[in-house]
Every structure is written in structure tokens, then in C-alpha cells.
């Protein structure tokens, strides 16, 4: 048994970042993790492995589609799936070991095992009970399913199973056209699977700006993904090698079935708080089943804080990280802060899709007067040189003040480009501020500047 200033439960991006910042601020810190490796969902079965597979499958796509045009001749590479999984596992290993190194460097104790909170100020792991002046719950989330769909992680899989299938399926049905379903769907489409995406709503990625969502669907279709929208899945019947998905089209209630070798259930994630003992402690939860916190991440029980996927807000690694840093600062008596209006979200398909701030639909609904500046990557020399002319940058700015209200990008490196708009928004910049900033040529970022110019006197290359 040991005594700590802070014990963090969970070592995902929320938990490990909180632990590191607490230690940096001079607090004696431990982090409890039940998995065999640190890093949580993100490093083990989320962001990192999915990006490794997206990268590998994108290289194949480049070789098959663009190499010959650039004068790169020779046999196109074939897929060694086992080796691709080994590469993915190596990437995971390097990253999780990296967190272990950072824990040692910052003198953070990793308490191995599943933790619970028998009472405020105490964390129990196995038979040991540790004292903690402050406890940060960063227990994350787990995949959620829908009625009549049982996940076996072999034929009917969650994202976790989809990252380690025994082989590339001939036919993959993805239930849910959100970020995770589309990223993993496009991995398998590039590797040769026939991919069918079934979505309940009438559009893909429903929270995204409507124009971007439409353009994105068109591009994914061109890459071979098929979409059935407005379809309510009724159930999945599975054998050891096959599955049958039954759905009803919402427009006419007609029932349909589709066969698959693998079904990926990507219908969202739910907070994971099992075994922590929160109910017995009287920690308040919201109606959506996540831990309720105040603006400083404190629960209603003194000394217990919560962050990341286990609380309200977008289930994103960087949101969890920001909360991790901020809650550490609050505990250390400083002013921790997260600006929830400027949290970017990215889909790492090809092209990438990225957004920050408000969508056009949200501005319309709020009755806010706004202007739109748009620029197509077809007018960007660098994008055309690398076969990446598909997509556009769209900047939304206040009609009167020109203050940037949101940005939506579909195109090359969108996930990186969005950050110049994030920084601009943090500083309360106008579209003109972006437009007057010199951007190096030839870069994709010139498209962001051109979209900002389009909010004023107009872009140059359109
Ligand atoms: P988690 O990462 O879920 O970590 C929680 C940790 O707590 C887990 O390791 C768990 O074992 C541990 N734990 C839980 N309870 C206990 C307990 N009682 N005792 C001990 N340990 C416990 N987000 C992005 O921003 N970008 C992406 O590209 C992205 N891609 C994703 C791809 C996939 C396939 C998935 C599934 C998710 C992806 N996400 C992405 C979401 C991202 O992974 C999560 O938002 C992020 O991991 C949340 O961090 P967290 O620290 O709140 O929790």
C-alpha cells in the first residue's frame, strides 16, 4: 500500500497525459491500468493501429492507381496480410512502450490491475488499497452494439476484431457510416474486399457539414464502397464463417438481407465504468450513462475527477488529452482550461476529412449571418501534382465581423491543415487574418488561404 497525491485510473490518452502532467507539476502520481500494455483504446485498439492499416493500404492503392502514371513501372505489390498485422502490432508496441518510458522518466508508478474506488481517497487494485488525495477516473469507452447483433470478434466484429481479422474478407458489411466504420471500411476496400456500408440515417457522418458529407460519400463510392442509407438493421445471423444481415429500409419498411464474410458493427461507443464502484459511491451519471462532471472535471464526490470518453463530449483522443492536462492543472491549483469550441475532428481516409467549429447547418439553425469561402484542391498545384485534386476547403466566417466560425476540409493532409484554422480560431482571428498570412508555395495549405480569400475579395486561383 502506498500514498499518492493523485491516482489516475486508466492509461489511455486522457489518463496517461493526466498522470504525466500531474508528475510534472510535482504531484506524487500513480496510474492504474488493467490491460497488459499502457495507452488505452487509442494506442492498443483504436487510433494508432487503425492509422497503421490505413497507411499500409493507402500505399497499395497508390501503387495500383498512380505509380504507372508517374513512370514507376513493375509488378504491383500483393498483400501479405500476416505481415501487415505484424507491422501494425510493431507500431502499437513502439507506442505503448513509449508511454512506459515516459512513466519511468516522470517517476509515475504503474499499478497493474483493475482498480476500484471503495471510498473517496482510496483505490483498490487486487488485494492492495492505496491512498490518494485525488482520483482521476479515465476509464474510457467500449464498443456498443445494437439489438439482435451479437459480436463474436471473428465473423461479427467490433473495431477491435476488425483490426485483427484472420484474413481479408471477400465481402465486408459495415453497420454504421461513422468515422470508425468508414476508416476501417476503406482499409478493407483498398485491400480488395467488397464493402457495403449500411447506415440508419440518410447521410454518412451525420454530424459533419452537409456539403462535406455529400462530397465524401461520392469519393468513397468512387473507391468502391457501396452505401445503403436510411436502413434500420434488424439483426445479424452468423455461423462460424458467414453472416447474414437483415435490414429494413425506413422509407417503405421493405425488408432486405445481405450476406457477408465479416460484419463490422461500428454503431458507436459507450462509456466504460464497470467495476469502479461509482454507483455505490454515489457518483452522478448523466442520462447518457457517462460520468457527470462540472467545468473543472470534478464529480459530485469530493476528490474524484473524471475525463475523456467516460464523460460528456466528443469521444476523441485529443479531447481526452486536453482534459488530462487541464485536470492535472486544476488539482495542482492552477487554471486548467479546455476550449470545447475549438476541438478538431479528423477522418483519416484518403482523402482525409477534417473539421473544426460550426457547420453551415448549425449556423443556419442558430440564425447567424455568415459567409462562406470555398476553394477546390483542383486549383492547388501541389495537390494536382500528387493526384490529390479531389476535395475542397470551406471556411465559414461571421458576415459582419469576419471572425472565423468553422472550417471544413476534404482533401490531402486535411487532418494537418485544419490546425492552422484551429490556431486562428483560438486567437479569435478573422478570415482576412488567414488570407493576409503568407503561405509557402507549393503547399496544400495554400488552399486554406485561398478559401479565406474567398471570404473576402475572392481567391486567386479559381
Ligand atoms: P481509453 O483510451 O479508452 O483508455 C481507458 C483505459 O482505462 C483502458 O486502457 C482501460 O483498460 C483502462 N481501464 C478502464 N477501467 C479500468 C479500471 N477499473 N482499472 C484499470 N484500468 C481501467 N480518436 C481520435 O482522436 N483519433 C482517431 O484517429 C481515433 N481513432 C479511433 C479508432 C478506433 C478503431 C477506435 C475504437 C477509437 C478511435 N478514437 C480516435 C477514439 C479514441 O481512441 C478515444 O477517444 C480515446 O482512446 C479515449 O481516451 P480515454 O483516455 O478517455 O480512454
SS3 for the chain is CCEEEEEEECCCHHHHHHHHHHHHCCCCEEEEECCCCCCHHHHHHCHHHHHHHHHHHHHHHHHHHCCHHHCCCCCCCCCCHHHHHHHHHHHHHHHHHHHHHHHHHCCCEEEECCEEEEECCEEEECCEEEEEEEEEECCCEEECCCCCCCCCCCCEECHHHHCCCCCCCCEEEEECCCHHHHHHHHHHHHCCCEEEEECCCCCCCCCCCHHHHHHHHHHHHHCCEEEECCEEEEEEEECCCCEEEEEEECCCCCEEEEEECEEEECCCEEECCCCCCHHHHCCCECCCCCECCCCCCECCCCCEEECHHHECCCCCHHHHHHHHHHHHHHHCCCCCCCCHHHCCEEECCCCEEEEEECCHHHHHHHCCCEEEEEEEHHHCHHHHHCCCCCCEEEEEEECCCCEEEEEEEEECCHHHHHHHHHHHHHCCCEHHHHHCCCCCCCCCCHHHHHHHHHCCCCCCCC
Q: How many domains does the chain have?
A: 3
Is 178 annotated in a binding site? The answer is: yes
Domain-located, residue 461:
no
Examine the domain organization and report whether 401 and 376 are in the same domain: yes
Ligand 1, atom 52, residue with closest C-alpha: 308
**Is residue 462 domain-resident?**
no
Q: Do the annotations mark residue 177 as ligand-binding?
A: yes
Q: Are residues 68 and 157 in the same domain?
A: no
Closest CA to 225 of 195, 258, 187: 195
> Of 65, 337, 441, 461, which one is the catalytic site residue?
441
Q: What is the pLDDT of residue 1?
A: 74
**Residues in the chain, how many?**
462
Residue 338 lies in a domain: no
* Alpha carbons 414 and 371: distance in angstroms, whole number: 21
**Percent of the chain, pLDDT > 90?**
98
Sign of the alpha-carbon torsion through 284, 288, 291, 295: negative
Which CATH number fits the domain that encloses residue 429?
3.30.390.30
Name the residue among 399, 412, 403 with its Cα closest to residue 447.
412
183: annotated binding-site residue? yes
Compute the average pLDDT of residues 356-372. 98
Q: What is the pLDDT of residues 366-406, one digit of tens each?
A: 999 999 999 999 999 999 999 999 999 999 999 999 999 99
- Please, which residues have CB within 8 angstroms of residue 255's CB and are 6 or more apart in sequence? 234, 246, 247, 248
pLDDT at 214 over 80: yes
Q: What is the pLDDT of residue 7?
A: 98
Same domain, 160 and 215: yes
Q: Of all protein residues, whose CA lies closest to atom 29 belonging to ligand 1?
A: 47
Asked if the structure places residue 253 within a domain, the reply is yes
- The crossing angle, in degrees rounded to 10, of helices 13-24 and 81-105 is 20
Nearest 5°: CA angle at 438, between 436 and 444? Answer: 110
14 annotated as ligand-binding: no
Q: What percent of the chain has pLDDT over 70?
A: 100
pLDDT > 80? residue 21: yes
Claim to verify: residue 14 and residue 135 sit in the same structural domain: yes
Whether 106 maps to a domain, the answer reads yes
129 and 277 part of one domain = yes
Last residue of a domain, one of 242, 268, 294: 268
Angle between helices 446-454 and 414-426 (to 10 degrees): 50
Enumerate residues lining ligand 1, CB below 6 A: 9-15, 32-35, 40-42, 46-47, 50, 114-115, 138-141, 159, 180, 272, 275-276, 308-310, 315-318, 320, 348
Let me know whether 104 and 36 are in one domain: yes
Tell how far the Cα of 46 is from the centroid of ligand 1, in angstroms. 7
Atom from ligand 1 closest to the CA of residue 276? 18
pTM score of the predicted model: 0.97
Averaged pLDDT for residues 139-146: 95
The residue-averaged pLDDT of 196-225 equals: 96
Last residue of a domain, one of 244, 268, 292: 268
Looking at the structure, tell me whether residues 193 and 260 fall in a common domain: yes
Q: Bin 448: left if φ > 0, else alpha if -120 < ψ < 50, else beta.
A: alpha
What is the predicted pLDDT for the residue at 75? Answer: 87
For residue 76, the model assigns a pLDDT of 82
ipTM above 0.95, yes or no: yes
Cβ proximity of 359 and 209 under 8 Å: yes
Cis peptide, bond prior to residue 42, ω within 30 of zero:
no
Residue 196 lies in a domain: yes
340 is a domain residue? no
Q: Is residue 198 part of a domain?
A: yes
Per-residue pLDDT of 263-317, as tens digits, reads 999 999 999 999 999 999 999 999 999 999 999 999 999 999 999 999 999 999 9
Confidence (pLDDT) at 249: 98
The dihedral through the CA atoms of 208, 267, 307, 303 has a sign that is positive
Distance 141 CA to ligand 1 centre (A): 6
- The total of other beta-carbon atoms located within 10 Å of residue 76's CB is 10
Residue 437 Cα to ligand 1 middle (Å): 37
Ligand 1 nearest atom to the CA of residue 324, by list position: 51
Domain shared by 284 and 259, yes or no: no
Q: Which domain holds residue 392?
A: 345-455
Protein residue closest via CA to atom 41 of ligand 1 = 316
Domain co-membership, 31 together with 127: yes
Give tens-digit pLDDT for 331-356.
999 999 999 999 999 999 999 999 99
Nearest atom within ligand 1 for CA of residue 315: 45
Ligand 1 center–CA 40 separation, angstroms? 5
Nearest Cα residue to 191 out of 82, 78, 83: 78
**Residues 132 and 148 reside in one and the same domain:** no
Q: Are 202 and 246 found together in one domain? A: yes
CATH code of the domain covering residue 81? 3.50.50.60
Report d(CA 207, CA 216) in Å as an integer. 13
Q: Find cell 493526384 and name the residue.
A: 387
Single residue among 285, 309, 332 that ends a domain in this structure: 332
Contact 1, 126 (CB under 8 A): no
pLDDT at 94 over 90: yes
Q: Ligand 1 atom 9: the closest Cα is on which residue?
A: 40
Measure 42 CA to ligand 1 centroid, in angstroms: 5
Ligand 1 closest atom vs CA 159: 34
Would residue 441 show up in a list of annotated catalytic residues for this protein? yes
Residue-averaged pLDDT of the chain: 97
**Domain co-membership, 135 together with 161:** no
How much distance in Å is there from the Cα of 230 to the middle of ligand 1? 29
Amino acid at each position: 500500500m502506498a500514498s499518492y497525491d493523485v491516482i489516475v485510473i486508466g492509461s489511455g490518452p486522457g489518463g496517461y497525459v493526466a498522470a504525466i502532467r500531474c508528475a510534472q507539476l510535482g504531484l506524487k502520481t500513480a496510474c492504474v491500468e488493467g490491460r497488459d500494455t499502457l495507452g488505452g483504446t487509442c494506442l492498443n485498439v483504436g487510433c494508432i493501429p487503425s492509422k497503421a492499416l490505413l497507411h499500409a493500404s493507402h500505399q497499395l492503392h497508390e501503387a495500383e492507381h498512380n505509380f504507372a502514371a508517374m513512370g514507376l513501372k513493375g509488378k504491383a505489390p500483393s498483400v501479405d496480410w500476416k505481415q501487415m498485422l505484424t507491422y501494425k502490432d510493431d507500431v502499437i508496441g513502439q507506442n505503448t512502450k513509449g508511454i512506459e518510458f515516459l512513466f519511468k522518466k516522470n517517476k509515475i508508478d504503474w499499478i497493474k490491475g483493475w482498480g476500484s474506488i471503495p471510498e473517496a481517497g482510496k483505490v483498490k487494485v487486487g488485494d492492495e488499497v492505496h491512498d490518494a488525495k485525488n482520483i482521476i477516473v479515465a476509464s474510457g469507452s467500449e464498443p456498443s452494439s445494437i439489438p439482435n447483433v451479437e459480436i463474436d470478434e471473428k465473423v461479427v466484429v467490433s473495431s477491435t476484431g476488425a483490426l485483427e481479422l484472420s484474413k481479408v474478407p471477400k465481402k465486408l458489411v459495415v453497420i454504421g457510416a461513422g468515422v470508425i466504420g468508414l476508416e476501417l471500411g476503406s482499409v478493407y476496400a483498398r485491400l480488395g474486399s467488397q464493402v457495403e456500408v449500411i447506415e440508419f440515417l440518410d447521410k454518412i457522418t451525420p454530424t459533419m457539414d452537409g456539403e462535406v458529407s455529400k462530397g465524401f460519400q461520392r469519393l468513397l463510392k468512387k473507391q468502391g464502397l457501396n452505401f445503403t442509407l436510411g436502413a434500420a438493421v434488424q439483426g445479424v445471423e452468423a455461423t462460424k464463417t458467414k453472416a447474414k444481415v437483415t435490414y429494413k429500409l425506413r422509407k417503405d419498411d421493405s425488408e432486405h438481407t445481405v450476406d457477408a464474410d465479416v460484419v463490422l458493427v461500428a454503431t458507436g461507443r459507450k462509456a466504460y465504468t464497470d467495476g469502479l464502484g461509482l454507483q455505490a459511491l454515489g457518483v452522478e451519471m448523466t442520462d447518457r450513462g457517462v460520468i457527470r462532471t462540472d467545468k473543472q472535471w470534478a464529480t459530485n464526490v469530493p476528490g474524484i475527477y473524471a475525463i475523456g470518453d467516460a464523460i460528456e463530449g466528443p469521444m476523441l483522443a485529443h479531447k481526452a488529452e486536453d482534459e488530462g492536462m487541464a485536470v492535472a492543472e486544476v488539482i495542482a491549483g492552477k487554471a486548467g482550461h479546455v476550449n470545447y469550441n475549438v476541438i478538431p475532428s479528423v477522418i483519416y481516409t484518403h482523402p482525409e476529412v477534417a473539421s473544426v467549429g460550426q457547420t453551415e447547418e448549425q449556423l443556419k439553425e442558430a440564425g447567424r449571418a455568415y459567409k462562406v469561402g470555398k476553394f477546390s484542391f483542383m486549383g492547388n498545384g501541389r495537390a494536382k501534382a500528387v493526384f490529390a485534386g479531389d476535395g475542397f476547403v470551406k471556411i465559414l466566417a461571421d458576415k459582419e465581423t469576419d471572425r472565423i466560425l468553422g472550417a471544413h476540409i476534404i482533401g490531402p493532409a486535411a487532418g494537418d491543415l485544419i490546425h492552422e484554422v484551429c490556431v486562428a480560431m483560438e486567437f479569435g482571428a478573422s478570415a482576412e487574418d488567414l488570407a493576409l498570412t503568407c503561405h509557402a508555395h507549393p503547399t496544400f495549405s495554400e488552399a486554406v488561404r485561398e478559401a479565406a480569400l474567398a471570404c473576402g475579395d475572392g481567391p486567386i486561383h479559381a
